Amino acid sequence: MPRPRQALLSRERIVETAAALIDADGLDAFSTRRLAAALGVRGPSLYNHFATKDEILDAVADSITGQVDVSFFGEVDWREALRRWGHGFRAALAAHPNIVPHLAQGPGRRPAALAMADAVYGGLVAAGWSPARATHIGALMRYFVTGSALGSFARGFVEDPGLYAEQYPHLSQAHRLAEHQQRVDEGAFALGLEALIDGLSHTYERLVGPLAPLPPEGGTH
């Protein structure tokens, strides 16, 4: 079936299918052959659209980053912006945990990741943070979000009561964590994000100046 009239592949289809494969089977099991098979073509066809496997991974990572809304930076109070960004960033990454190790290596040359960094940093500096502190805040937020998306805390404990009973006296209920996986992980993230914003608010008042009380909802207008 050489040279069909209508191209079978497109960068978009390849990226979508690659993301689904990585979600299902993990980064280690992801290969160009398996990706091609899932697309109904042979391996070498992919190289008409991407030069290397790594370019495909970059495209997958950036398509996920591109789903994160950062348009409100500079529009709403920085505390509210961090809150919205944090939740949105985590939601996008937690839907694709297997690619987080790749994505967490930094923006590199990926456009969506650079645009996100630009919006966050610009918004924080505009809010009064020093360049150095704005960098730190962007970094520590990425730490927290990528760490929370990298692996579920609750599912990290095996469901085997006997494992804990003897040697780990405080973990006697740990085997039940998996039942409540989503609630535990989201609750922990929410608690941490609010604590971070609260703590940073005090840092702001010490270094920059008094903060206005947050409006009940929405923008600064």
Interacting residues with a second copy (CB under 8 A): 100-101, 104-109, 111, 114-115, 117-119, 121-122, 125, 131-133, 135-140, 142-148, 150-158, 163-164, 167-171, 173-174, 177, 184-185, 187-189, 191-192, 194-200, 202-203
For 76, phi then psi, to 5°, come to -110, 170
Instruction: Check binding of 38 to DNA (CB under 7 A).
Output: no
Query: From residue 7 to residue 36, what is the string marking binding to DNA with x (rule CB under 7 A)?
Result: xxx-------------------xxxxxx-x
Min dist. Cβ of residue 45 to a second copy (A)? 25
CA distance 166 to 145: 34
Q: Residue 9 or 125: which CB sits closer to a second copy?
A: 125
Instruction: Check binding of 47 to DNA (CB under 7 A).
Output: yes
CA distance 125 to 152: 33
3-state secondary structure (DSSP) of residue 96: coil
3-state secondary structure (DSSP) of residue 176: helix
Q: Which does 85 bind (CB under 5 to 8 A by kind): DNA, a second copy, none?
A: none
Q: Which does 7 bind (CB under 5 to 8 A by kind): DNA, a second copy, none?
A: DNA
Min dist. Cβ of residue 45 to DNA (A)? 4
3-state secondary structure (DSSP) of residue 104: coil
Q: Residue 42 or 202: which CB sits closer to a second copy?
A: 202
CA distance 88 to 206: 28
Alpha helices in 5-150, H assignment, sequence order: 11-25, 32-39, 53-65, 78-94, 100-103, 111-126, 131-150
Q: Are 67 and 19 in contact (CB under 8 A)?
A: no
DSSP annotation of 215:
P
Q: Which does 42 bind (CB under 5 to 8 A by kind): DNA, a second copy, none?
A: DNA
**Interface ranges with DNA (CB under 7 A):** 1-4, 7-9, 29-34, 36, 40-45, 47-49, 51-54
